[in-house]
Amino acid sequence: MIGRLKGILLAKQPPWLLLDVQGVGYELEAPMSTFYELPAAGGEVVLHTHLAIKDDAHSLYGFAKLEERVLFRALTKVTGIGAKTSLAILSGASVDEFGRLIQNGDVAALQRIPGIGKKTAERLIVEMRDKVDGLITGLVALPNARHPVPHDPVAEATSALQALGYKPIEVSKLVRSVAEPGDSAETIIRKALKNALRSG
């Protein structure tokens, strides 16, 4: 089992990133919460990882914070919640925020996350309510790095949000409502996801 990787970030295109660990390139999927913590390409990164092995694929997921990996693993054990939906949850809400949504039984807010309907939101609340207290640990994250503004941050943000499962029409509205001149793609995505979770 691969539990942790330390290496040089070669490329990042949400939700994918490529990490060079002593000459071996590891391709990982990660939530946007992890992308916010990443340095520019060429910087050193330490990620907590989860390896999922299926008959047709081996998938590696990376997380900047240990509690995110703990929540990811707990979410994928909930009936009807797969890795893609778990990444969308972690992209749209911090571990603390998700814990509050579960404790408050906020079905409406959970339904705003791609891939979660009313029944799934209700199931999440029932199955996760006893587990979230242990997840809200406040572990220290990796140092936050300054990100350069990409060539076309709006296009990059749009592509990333669609990869997370949002429909193109939703993405267009979300990005238009939050994007400001000078924003990096990560900033636009962060604001759009917060807006998506709180509006509706």
Report the chain's mean pLDDT, rounded to a whole number.
Answer: 83
pTM for this structure?
Answer: 0.68
Element (H, E) at 98: helix 95-103
What pLDDT shows up at residue 148? 39
With 60 as the cut, is the pLDDT of residue 40 above it? Answer: yes
At 71-106, the pLDDT tens digits run 999 999 888 888 999 999 998 888 888 888 898 899
Q: Using the 8-state DSSP alphabet, how is residue 72 labeled?
A: H
And the tokens for 182?
């000078």
Answer yes or no: are the C-beta atoms of 5 and 62 closer than 8 Å: yes
The distance of Cα 142 from the centroid of its chain, to the nearest Å, equals 15
Q: How far apart are CA 101 and CA 97, in angstroms?
A: 6
Contacts of 85 (CB under 8 A, 6+ apart): 75, 113, 114, 115, 116, 120, 165
Q: How far apart are CA 41 and CA 147, in angstroms?
A: 10
3-state secondary structure of 122: helix
Question: CA–CA distance from 139 to each of 67, 97, 98, 147 (Å)?
Answer: 7, 15, 15, 23
Domains detected in the chain: 4-63 (2.40.50.140), 68-135 (1.10.150.20), 153-198 (1.10.8.10)
And the tokens for 120?
């799934």
Which of 25-39, 122-136, 153-167 is predicted with the least confidence, judged by mean pLDDT?
A: 122-136
The distance of Cα 164 from the centroid of its chain, to the nearest Å, equals 8
At 48-72, the pLDDT tens digits run 999 988 888 889 999 999 889 989 9
